[in-house]
């Protein structure tokens, strides 16, 4: 996967750069989210007290709010005029990987409550889709700022 990422990155065409940025984004998300499930399972062994539905909703809103911040920062990174377009697009994609990671990790802390996991992982899936959909626009913005 890393060889394909490097090949696409060095090709230079917008479609190749988009593929490279999406691969980098997926790798960054995996690196951020990987510790969540084993740690959540360990926490599950402590038999945590269930959260009230209001707290589950508050956690989902917090996860959504914390997912929006990296998406906003990613758009700003893509507009940075310093450096080559490939670096700006990759920086944006890597920053966006944190967007779904935050609600995913919050969901891992709530493995004892299926409703909380479902709501938080739904927010994470939506944030992942938004981050992935944003990559072509960030590549375009990065290329236009320098073209």
Q: Where are the domains of the chain?
A: 1-144
What mean pLDDT value characterizes the chain? 90
Whether the pTM exceeds 0.85: the reply is yes
127 band by pLDDT with thresholds 50, 70 and 90:
very high
Q: For the residues 40-44, what does the mean pLDDT come to? A: 93
1 band by pLDDT with thresholds 50, 70 and 90:
low
Residue 118 CA to residue 80 CA, distance in Å, equals 36
Cα atoms in the Cβ-side hemisphere of radius 13 Å centred on 16 = 13
Q: At what angle do helices 98-108 and 85-96 cross, to 10 degrees?
A: 20
Q: For the residues 119-126, what does the mean pLDDT come to? A: 98
Over 80: is that where the pLDDT of 43 sits? yes
């Amino acid at each position: 996967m890393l060889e394909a990422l490097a090949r696409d990155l060095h090709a230079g065409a917008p479609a190749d750069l988009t593929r490279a940025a999406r691969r980098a984004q997926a790798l960054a998300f995996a690196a951020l989210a990987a510790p969540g499930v084993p740690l959540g399972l360990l926490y599950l062994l402590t038999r945590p007290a269930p959260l009230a539905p209001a707290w589950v909703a508050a956690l989902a809103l917090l996860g959504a709010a914390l997912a929006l911040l990296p998406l906003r920062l990613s758009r700003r990174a893509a507009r940075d005029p310093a450096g080559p377009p490939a670096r700006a697009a990759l920086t944006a994609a890597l920053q966006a990987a944190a967007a779904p990671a935050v609600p995913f990790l919050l969901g891992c802390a709530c493995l004892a409550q299926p409703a909380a996991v479902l709501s938080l992982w739904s927010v994470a899936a939506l944030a992942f889709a938004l981050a992935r959909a944003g990559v072509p626009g960030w590549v375009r913005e990065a290329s236009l700022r320098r073209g």
